[in-house]
Structure 1
Amino acid sequence: MLDAIQQFFNRTLAPQDDAQRVLTLELATAALLCEVVRADYQTGASEIDALRNMLQTRFALDRAAVDELMDLAAEEAEQAVDHFQFVRLVNEHYDYADKVELVELMWRLAYADDALDALEEHRIRKLADLLFVRHSDFIRTKLRVQEGRDGAGV
C-alpha cells in the first residue's frame, strides 16, 4: 500500500515533459467533451461517433489511440467529483481561441443526435463559464453550429 502511494506521488509531482503534458491535456479535453455527451443521460451512437471523430481530428490520433483515450476520459469523468481538475489544466495550457474552439466542439456534440437537450446546454454553459469564455462567444459558437446544421439540410 505504501509503495502504491509513493508511486502515485512520484507520478503526480514529478516534472512532466511535453509529451506527457500533451497526453494530459488530451485526457482533460476528452473528459470535458465526455461530460457533454453524458449530460442528458442518453449516450447514442451518433454522439460517440462525433466524439471519436473530434478527438481523431483535434489530436491526430489513430482509432485505437482514440478509443483508449475515450475509455480513459469516460472513466475519469465518471469518477470525478467535479470538473475542476480538467478545467484547471485546460485553463493553464489553452489560449482563449482554443477554449472557444473547445466550446464549439461541445455544441457540435450536443447537436450530434439532432436534438439539443436542456441538460446539455446547461452543462456547456457551466463549462464555458469555468473556462472563462465570454457569453458572447458562448452564443456565437452555438449559432455557428446551428447555422452549419441548417446549411447542411439537417
Structure 2
Amino acid sequence: MLERIRSFFGERIDPEREGDPDARLRLAAAALMVEVMRADFDAAEAEKAEVLAAVRRQLGLTEQETAELVALAEEETEGTVCLYEFTRLIHESFDAERKGRLLEELWRVAFADRVLEAQEEFLIRKIAGLLHVPHADFIAAKRRARNDARRVSG
C-alpha cells in the first residue's frame, strides 16, 4: 500500500519541488484515518465524508486528488497494514500538541457515524500507544471529538 500511495504523492506532490517536507507526515496521518474508518469493517458514508474532509484539510489537495488518494488507501487497506511505519514517522516528528490534534481527527472519524465501535476504539488506543500519547491526552481528545459530534448531530 505504502508504495502505491508514495507513487500517488510523487506524481502530484513532490515535497522537494513544492517545498513541503511534511507531505509524508500528513500522508501517514491520512492513512491512519482510513484505517480507523475501516476498523469496524463498515465504512459508513459519514465516516468516509469525515476522512475526505480531514485529508483535504491536512494535505491541501483538490477534491479530486483527495478522492483518488482515499480510494487508493481504501483499496490497499483490504490487506494487512502495519501501523508501525506510519506511527513511527509521526511519533518522531510530531510534538505532543500535534499528536493530540491527530488523535482528535481519528476520534472524529470514529464518531462520524454516531456509533463508536469497539474495533475503532481499540485501533485508536493502539495508535495512541504507538505515538506514546499519555492516557489523559487520549481521553481528552476523545471527549473533544465526542462533544463536537454531539453538537453537529444536534
Give the alignment's TM-score, normalised by structure 2.
Answer: 0.80
Query: Corresponding residue for 1:38?
Result: 38
**Which residue of structure 1 aligns with residue 108 of structure 2?**
108
SS of match in other structure, 1:97:
helix
Structure 1 counterpart SS, 2:22: helix
Partner of 1:22: 22
Letter of the aligned partner of 2:38 in structure 1? Answer: R
Read off the aligned partner of 2:93 and give its amino acid letter. H
- Which residue does the alignment assign to 1:6? none
C-alpha RMSD of the superposition: 2.2
* Residues 87 and 18 of structure 1: CA distance in aligned 2, closer, same or farther (over 3 Å): farther
What amino acid is the match of 2:125? R
Matched, 1:66 2:77: no
Note the alpha carbon deviations across 1:12-63, whole angstroms, 9 max, x for none.
xxxx738574332232111111110111010111111110011111222211
- Which secondary structure state, in structure 2, belongs to the residue aligned with residue 114 of structure 1? coil
Q: Give the conservation status (yes or no) of the 8 Å contact 1:30–1:55.
A: yes
Give the deviation of 1:80 after TM superposition. Answer: 4.3
CA distance in 1, matches of 2:17, 2:143: 35
Give the TM-score of the pair, scaled to structure 1: 0.80
Whether contact under 8 Å (2:112, 2:149) holds in the other structure is no
* 1:137 Cα offset (Å): 0.6
Aligned length: 140
Q: Percent identity?
A: 36
Gaps in structure 2 of 5+ consecutive residues: 1-9
Q: Which residue of 2 aligns with 1:4?
A: none
Which residue in 1 is equivalent to 2:88? 88
Unpaired runs of 5+ in structure 1?
A: 1-10
Offset of residue 146 of structure 1: 1.8
> Which stretch shows the higher mean deviation, 110-119 or 17-26?
17-26
For the 8 Å contact 1:27–1:73, the answer to whether it is kept is no
The structure-2 alpha-carbon separation of the partners of 1:18 and 1:28, relative to structure 1 and needing over 3 Å to count, comes to farther
- Report the alpha carbon displacement of residue 116 of structure 1 after superposing the two structures with TM: 0.4
**Number of the residue aligned with 1:117:** 117
Distance 2:99 2:77 in 1: 19
SS at match of 1:17: helix
The 1:91/1:76 distance shift into structure 2, 3 A limit, reads farther
Q: Which moved more, 1:93-102 or 1:133-142?
A: 93-102
Structure whose CA Rg is larger: 1
Q: Measure the CA separation in 1 of the matches of 2:126 and 2:108.
A: 16
Q: 1:17 is matched by which residue type in structure 2? A: E
Which AA in structure 2 matches 1:147? N
